[in-house]
């Protein structure tokens, strides 16, 4: 499981770095577009006119505002980065927990990875085996007591309905 967690951590770190480079690239592009928009606004102000909406389009037939599109894309990249970072932190915490558990309990503990990606921990030592044996013995005793009780109830005369 340690190798799986380490591989998962490495993969998540790689994906976060890819997202970071995409974010940087699109932030630079957005700055370029906003600079063009600002230059146009400044030219309008220099002519003594009031600001007007400026939409930067990829081509003359487009109705999309490229700045708004880029801002939305950056938002999606940031959401993905947040998710990946959160998942990476979970994996790092799982690795640290596993190391501590194995260091503290050694062979007494088994960590099982579930298909859902979560994990379960099984703990067993001589004391837990002894406690289990005591429970099993107590269950046998309870069953014997129930059988004895049933025999006693059979032997006890039942009051008649007339009395």
Instruction: Give the three-state DSSP class for 113.
Output: strand
Which letter does DSSP use for residue 125 in this model?
-
CA–CA gap between residue 71 and residue 63 (Å, rounded)? 16
CA distance 29 to 70: 8
Alpha carbons 67 and 37: distance in angstroms, whole number: 9
**What are the pLDDT digits (tens) for 123-132?**
999 999 999 9
Kindly list the distances between the CA atom of residue 91 and the CA atoms of 69, 95, 115, in Å, as whole numbers in the listed order.
33, 6, 15
CB–CB of 54/41 below 8 Å? yes
Residue 1 confidence (pLDDT): 62
C-alpha separations of 72 from 20, 33, 61, 88, 100 in Å: 16, 14, 21, 24, 42
> Which residue has tokens 């505002």?
65
* 22-42 pLDDT tens trace: 999 999 999 999 999 999 999
DSSP letter, residue 51: P
17: region left, alpha or beta (phi > 0 left; psi from -120 to 50 alpha): alpha
- Identify the pLDDT of residue 163: 55
> Could you give phi then psi for residue 61, rounded to 5 degrees?
-90, -5
Which residues are paired to 110 by β-bridges? 122
pTM here is: 0.66
State which residues of the chain have pLDDT below 70: 1-2, 62, 160-163
Quote the pLDDT of residue 64.
78
pLDDT for position 155: 78
**pLDDT at residue number 43:** 95
Residues 16/25, Cβ–Cβ less than 8 Å = no
Residue 39: its pLDDT value, please? 95
């Amino acid at each position: 499981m340690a190798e799986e967690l380490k591989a998962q951590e490495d993969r998540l770190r790689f994906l976060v770095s890819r997202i970071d480079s995409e974010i940087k690239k699109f932030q630079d592009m957005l700055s370029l577009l906003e600079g063009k928009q600002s230059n146009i606004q400044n030219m309008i102000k220099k002519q003594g006119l009031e600001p007007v909406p400026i939409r930067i389009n990829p081509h003359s037939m487009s109705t999309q505002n490229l700045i708004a599109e880029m801002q939305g894309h950056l938002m999606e990249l940031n959401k993905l980065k947040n998710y990946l970072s959160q998942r990476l932190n979970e994996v790092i915490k799982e690795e640290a927990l596993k190391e501590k558990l194995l260091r503290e309990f050694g062979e007494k503990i088994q960590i099982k990875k579930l298909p859902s990606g979560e994990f379960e921990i099984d703990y067993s030592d001589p004391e837990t085996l002894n406690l289990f044996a005591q429970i099993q013995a107590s269950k046998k005793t309870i069953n014997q007591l129930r059988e004895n009780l049933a025999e006693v109830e059979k032997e006890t005369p039942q009051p008649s309905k007339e009395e």
